Chain A
């Protein structure tokens, strides 16, 4: 299997007034195609910072980052936007849907920035909404959807551009446990199709629904282990 993500000796610091906060202190790891990796750690361990750097939403101070074999270095914002659009899909804790656009319109957005024509955008978006079980809700606005439905719209949006990697930051953080398992069920099904997914979470049960867990502590990897995956479908009615 091809290596989708490879990072070597990644460092990141934040300037807090006169003090410098060293958040990532030399991270090395790689993720193969089709992996479902959970990144765990307590608050301040650097897991979200790592995900932001992997998602090209933030820049590391030093170290090497290869995404699908391409060295990510000195990208300007235009190029970073194009890479995000082509290689990455995002799922956020707070969903980050545009509230005046319907579920369908939200899902079509990555394709709009890819230059896909309107008809094709809508066809593809509908396909992914159907996949997450929201075909009937496609014309509803986000405020007409439940938390779980919103997150499934966000998953469809992350999927629609057919990215190489999906990055999920606390994707179940705002959901109750039943809904969280439903969402993880969708994530596992997507992963079963061969998609590479990285999930940042502080919830142990969610992490165990992945195939591998990386524990971060104080900016370094404390443990990196493969686990026996718990199927979310077992908890879904």
Chain B
């Protein structure tokens, strides 16, 4: 089967039937190319959705105060709800079994200056654990720590682009910046995968912000980081428990949907994952459709090829070709062409995806890719089914009586 002579005979046939070879090869290569490209672009779409959650932790619940809409326990509606430090501590204490950390956040925009350079940035006054919620990556120095919170220090951790804007390549660590009239020492520089906006922020201790603002203990909102092991169901249950607890504490009707707003990232992530799964399913369906179309294409060509070669096969049989030899020559030729062109199509597809990179980010396609294993598997599948599809007409050709085949025009 793999004798040099057999292959030489096949190469000769391929070489002398260029159009036939090209058509067969082109069908297979195109099929695989479309499969790889489609699948890769589908993955690129999924990457875009995943990216929304990449730069932040997904085991977090955001709690925002609102304004009541239902009178409750002697309180009128339209009451403004506020969160303070005790709320943060109470949640940490009462839900300790499920909660990894809590952090308040107070956001203010401020004019920030260093020597002659100045710009407006958002400051975020937070607890030290906020770094986990935001997945902050420290490039230099350190993040805020327990001592900063406890001692209400005037320490700031600045974003990479804040450093770039204000320090223009000079060293920022240990330098003092003016944040809205208060001087803070830079103790760290961070980067964030969430994009440029995220890196134009400054983190300071929330206790320091509260002292600057006349020793108040109010916070804008709270972030609760739950233990990942509680899973999606646990996160939803925790969200309901915290909601109930806070409504009890703040005298908000259990039916009031406006007193407190909760954003559970786990829930959003699940919805996103469901969407991504459906998207993946559609892409897979279309991609498999392409492969099937390729197999049908190859089958058609094989039927045509065998029909075209009927007389030749009759001559060969008259000269001594056995049915097995006829099937073997047709199949080996087909498998050889599909293998070479299939892998060419696959490599071209992968090269196209690689060359695209993030070029299509504006069209929500980020870093399109296909795993090499999957691409190879799809190619092998096409080769296998292509061979199988070729076997049927090859067997039929082998069964034709030579005298009938010789009469074929």
A58 close to B401 (CB less than 8 A): yes
A84 close to B401 (CB less than 8 A): no
B323 close to A114 (CB less than 8 A): no
**Partner among A57, A78, A112, A114 whose Cβ is within 8 Å of the Cβ of B318:** A57
**Is the CB of A22 closer than 8 A to any CB of chain B?**
no
A81 close to B5 (CB less than 8 A): no
Closest to B312 in A: A98
Report Cα–Cα, A57/B314, bound state, in Å: 10
Chain-A contact segment, one of B8-16, B93-101, B122-130, B250-258: B8-16
Report Cα–Cα, A86/B319, bound state, in Å: 9
A110 close to B12 (CB less than 8 A): no
Main SS class of interface, B:
helix
Which of A90, A97, A112 gathers most chain B CB within 10 Å?
A: A112
Q: How many B residues have CB within 8 A of the partner chain?
A: 27
User: Within the complex, what minimum Cβ distance (angstroms) separates B409 from chain A?
Assistant: 9
B322 close to A109 (CB less than 8 A): no
A84 close to B320 (CB less than 8 A): yes
**Is the CB of B142 closer than 8 A to any CB of chain A?**
no
B5 close to A84 (CB less than 8 A): no
Report Cα–Cα, A56/B329, bound state, in Å: 22
Main SS class of interface, A:
helix
**Hey, what's the 0/1 contact readout for B1-41 against A, CB within 8 Å counting as 1?**
00001001100110011000000000000000000000000
**Is the CB of A117 closer than 8 A to any CB of chain B?**
yes
In the complex, what residues of A have CB within 8 A of residue B247's CB? none
**Is the CB of A8 closer than 8 A to any CB of chain B?**
no
**Is the CB of B237 closer than 8 A to any CB of chain A?**
no
**Is the CB of B406 closer than 8 A to any CB of chain A?**
yes
**Is the CB of B278 closer than 8 A to any CB of chain A?**
no
In the complex, what residues of B have CB within 8 A of residue A77's CB? 317, 322-323, 398-399
Closest to A52 in B: B403
B321 close to A96 (CB less than 8 A): no
Report Cα–Cα, A101/B312, bound state, in Å: 11
Report Cα–Cα, A55/B318, bound state, in Å: 9
In the complex, what residues of B have CB within 8 A of residue A235's CB? none
In the complex, what residues of A have CB within 8 A of residue B8's CB? 118
**Is the CB of B402 closer than 8 A to any CB of chain A?**
yes
Which of B5, B16, B320, B321 gathers most chain A CB within 10 Å?
A: B320
**Is the CB of B316 closer than 8 A to any CB of chain A?**
yes
> Given contacts A57-B402, A96-B406, are A110 and B17 in contact (CB under 8 A)?
no
**Is the CB of A201 closer than 8 A to any CB of chain B?**
no
User: Within the complex, what minimum Cβ distance (angstroms) separates B216 from chain A?
Assistant: 92
Report Cα–Cα, A81/B401, bound state, in Å: 11
In the complex, what residues of B have CB within 8 A of residue A117's CB? 5
**Is the CB of B70 closer than 8 A to any CB of chain A?**
no
**Is the CB of B380 closer than 8 A to any CB of chain A?**
no
> Given contacts A58-B403, A82-B322, A105-B12, are A96 and B315 in contact (CB under 8 A)?
yes
Closest to A100 in B: B16
**Hey, what's the 0/1 contact readout for B281-318 against A, CB within 8 Å counting as 1?**
00000000000000000000000000000011011111
Interface residues of B in 41-59 (CB under 8 A from A): none
Report Cα–Cα, A67/B13, bound state, in Å: 34
In the complex, what residues of A have CB within 8 A of residue B317's CB? 77, 81, 84
**Hey, what's the 0/1 contact readout for B364-393 against A, CB within 8 Å counting as 1?**
000000000000000000000000000000
**Is the CB of A172 closer than 8 A to any CB of chain B?**
no
Knowing that A98-B315, A113-B322, A118-B5 are A-B contacts, what are 7 other residue pairs whose CB atoms are under 8 Å apart, sorted by A's residue number?
A52-B403, A77-B322, A77-B399, A96-B311, A96-B318, A97-B315, A113-B320
6 contacts between A and B (CB under 8 A): A77-B317, A81-B322, A82-B322, A100-B17, A110-B320, A113-B316
Rank and list the top 7 A-B pairs by shortest CB-CB distance, nearest first: A85-B320, A113-B320, A100-B16, A57-B403, A81-B322, A78-B322, A110-B319
A interface residues, Cβ below 8 angstroms from B: 52, 55, 57-58, 77-78, 81-82, 84-86, 90, 92, 96-98, 100-101, 105, 109-110, 112-114, 117-118, 157, 161
